[in-house]
Structure 1
Amino acid sequence: MRPSWMLRLFAAFGLLVLLAPGALVLVVSFSAGDFLTFPPPGFSLRWYEALFTHAGLMSALATSALLAAAVSALALLVGAPAAYAIARLDFPGRGVLATLLMAPLLLPTLVLGLGLLLVLQPLGLVATWPGLMLGHSLVAIPFAVRIMTTAFAAVPKELEAAAWTLGATPLRAALRVTLPNAAPGAIAAGVLTFLVSFDETVISLFLVGPRLTTLPVEMFRYAERTTDPLIAALAMSLIVFALLMVAVVERLMGFTRAMGRD
C-alpha cells in the first residue's frame, strides 16, 4: 500500500524540521564575520582554515580518534563472542545475558558517568586512557553485541553443520565459516561503535582532565568561552564525517537491519 499524500506531506515537514538546524550550521560555518550571526555578513572559508590550525581542537581530535579506534576494537573483541553465543547457541540464561549486555543503554549517561567517576577515582584511572576506554566501552559494547547478533543470526546454521560433517571443530567452523559470512556486520559494528565513542560527551566530562580531553568536551568548553563561527565549521565537518560513516553501514548491511529492527 502506497502512503497517502497527507502522510508524505507530514514526512516531508518532519524531515525539513530535522534538517533545518544542520542547514543553519552549514550557512554559518562559511561566515566571513567574527561572531555567530545569521544571516552572515559574508561568506568565506576562513573558519575552516582556522579550524585546522587550532592546536587545542586538533589535539583533542587526535585523542578522540585514537580513543574511538581502541574502543571500537575492544567492543568487537568483547561483543562478537557474546553475540555469537546469543545468536547461535542454546544455553540456560541466554536471555539474561542479552539483557545484561544491553543494560547500560537503559541508564542515563549522567548516571553512568557519575558511577564511573566514583569507581575509577580511587583507582587512579580518571583522566587516563584506560579509564576513558572503560567508560566509552560501557556504552559501545551493547551496540556491537546488537549488531553482531543480527549478523550472526543471518548466517544459515547449515553452513556450520556442513563444516562439522567435513571434520571441522565447532571453533574452527565458527572462525572459518560463520565469522567471514558475518564480516559486513562486524565492519558495521566497528563503524558505529567508533561513532558512539567519538561522540560521547557526558561520560567524558566526568573522566577527562587538563592533559587528556576529547573533542566533544573541548568543543563544549570552546563554545562556553568563544562565540565565533569556528565551532560551526567544526560541527559541520563532524556532521559530514558521521554521514559518511552511516553511509558505509547502510552500504554494508542496511542501517535498520544493523540496529536489529528489520
Structure 2
Amino acid sequence: MKAGLAARISWGLLLTVLYLFLLAPVIIVLVVSFDTSTFLRFPPEGFTLEPYRQVFANPDFQEGIKVSAITAATTTALALACGIPAALALSRLRFRGRGAVEAAFLSPLLVPNIVLGLALLILFAPIPLTDTYWGLILAHLGITIPYVVRTISAALAGADPRAEEAARTLGAGPFTVFRRITLPAIRPGLFSGGIIAFLLSFDETVISLFVSGHNVRPLPVAVLQYVEYRSDPSIAALSVCLVLLSVVAVVLVERGLGLRQSLRS
C-alpha cells in the first residue's frame, strides 16, 4: 500500500512539474504584463495596470481588434454556412468520390500556412483582393472550414438518423426535418465549430501577413509591426488578454456543450 501511495505521489509531482513547464511562458508573460518598466524584463521592477490601459489606448491595437473581430465574425458565419451542408452531405449521403471530397475539405490542414499565404498572395494580387476585408475572409475560410466540417460531422455521427426518417415518414419536409430534428442534434458541434473558427481567424498571423496591408491590418499583424520598433509590457498585457479570451471561450464551450464530446470522431 505504501508503494502504491508513493507511486501516486511520484506521478502527481511529475505531472505538476510538467504542467508548470508547459505553463511557464504564460506565467512569465502574465507577471511581466504588470511591470512598471518601459521595456520587457523579468523579474519586473514593480506592479502597475498601466500596460493594460496602453493596450486599449493604442490606436493601432484598436483598429487591429476591430479588423480581426469583423473578419473573424464574418469568417465564422460563412464557415458555418458552408460547413453545415458539406458535413450533412459527407455524413448522410453515399456517392462516388466521397472520399476525395472529404479529403479536399480537410486538405488545408496538411499544407503549412506559409505556403497557403504565398499561394493566396499570388492568387489575390491580380484581382485585387489583397489589403481588403474580403481577401482576409476568403483566406481565413480555407483554414476554418475543415474544423467546422469536422465538428459538425462528429455531432452528426452521434445523432440518430432514425429520428429524421420518422419525421419524413410523418410528412415533414426537408427544411422542417432539418430545423426541428437535425439542427438541435448538431447544436453542440455548431457552437464548438463556430468558436474554433472564430478563434482561429482572430489569431491567424502567417496568412494574414501575406494578404493584409496598410488599410486592412488585423491585430496579429499590428502586434508584429509594433514589436519591430519597441518592446514594452503592453505587448505582454495584450497577450494575456488574448490568452484569456481563448481560455474563456473554450471553457464556456466545454462546460455548456462538451467540446471533447463534439470533437469525438
Which bracket does the TM-score occupy, shorter chain normalised?
Answer: over 0.9
Task: State whether residues 80 and 194 of structure 2, in contact with CA within 8 Å, keep that contact through their aligned partners in structure 1.
Answer: yes
1:49 to 37, 49, 53: 53
Measured on the aligned residues, the alpha-carbon RMSD in Å equals 1.7
Between the aligned partners of 2:263 and 2:184, the Cα distance in structure 1 is 20
State the match for 2:104 in structure 1: 100
Task: State whether residues 188 and 258 of structure 2, in contact with CA within 8 Å, keep that contact through their aligned partners in structure 1.
Answer: no
Q: Which runs of 5+ in 1 are unaligned?
A: none
Q: Report the residue type matching 1:202 in the other structure.
A: V
What secondary structure sits across from 1:123 in the alignment?
coil
Between the aligned partners of 1:27 and 1:250, the Cα distance in structure 2 is 27
Map Cα deviations across residues 197-225 of structure 1 (whole Å, 9 max, x no partner).
00100000001111110000111111121
Over 3 Å counting, the alpha-carbon distance change for 1:11 and 1:98 in structure 2 is farther
State the match for 1:76 in structure 2: 80
State the match for 1:60 in structure 2: 64
Q: Report the residue type matching 1:218 in the other structure.
A: A
Map Cα deviations across residues 145-182 of structure 1 (whole Å, 9 max, x no partner).
00010112211111101101110134431232111221
Bigger mean CA offset, 8-17 vs 91-100 = 8-17
Between the aligned partners of 2:228 and 2:259, the Cα distance in structure 1 is 34
Task: State whether residues 146 and 260 of structure 1, in contact with CA within 8 Å, keep that contact through their aligned partners in structure 2.
Answer: no
Taking the TM superposition and a 5 Å limit, the aligned residue runs for 1:146-161 are: 146-161=150-165
Task: State whether residues 132 and 215 of structure 2, in contact with CA within 8 Å, keep that contact through their aligned partners in structure 1.
Answer: no
Q: Is 2:260 the counterpart of 1:256?
A: yes
Map Cα deviations across residues 27-79 of structure 1 (whole Å, 9 max, x no partner).
00011111111111100001111111111101110110010000000000001
Runs of 4+ in 1 over 6 A off after TM superposition: none
Task: State whether residues 87 and 150 of structure 1, in contact with CA within 8 Å, keep that contact through their aligned partners in structure 2.
Answer: no
State the match for 1:200 in structure 2: 204
State the match for 2:172 in structure 1: 168
Taking the TM superposition and a 5 Å limit, the aligned residue runs for 1:236-255 are: 236-255=240-259
Q: Scaled by the length of structure 2, what TM-score is found?
A: 0.93
Q: Scaled by the length of structure 1, what TM-score is found?
A: 0.94
State the match for 1:30 in structure 2: 34
State the match for 1:111 in structure 2: 115
Bigger mean CA offset, 70-79 vs 185-194 = 185-194
What secondary structure sits across from 1:225 in the alignment?
coil
Q: Report the residue type matching 2:154 in the other structure.
A: T
Task: State whether residues 67 and 198 of structure 1, in contact with CA within 8 Å, keep that contact through their aligned partners in structure 2.
Answer: yes
Between the aligned partners of 2:201 and 2:231, the Cα distance in structure 1 is 26
2:236 to 232, 238, 245: 232
Over 3 Å counting, the alpha-carbon distance change for 1:252 and 1:88 in structure 2 is farther
Q: Report the residue type matching 2:71 in the other structure.
A: L
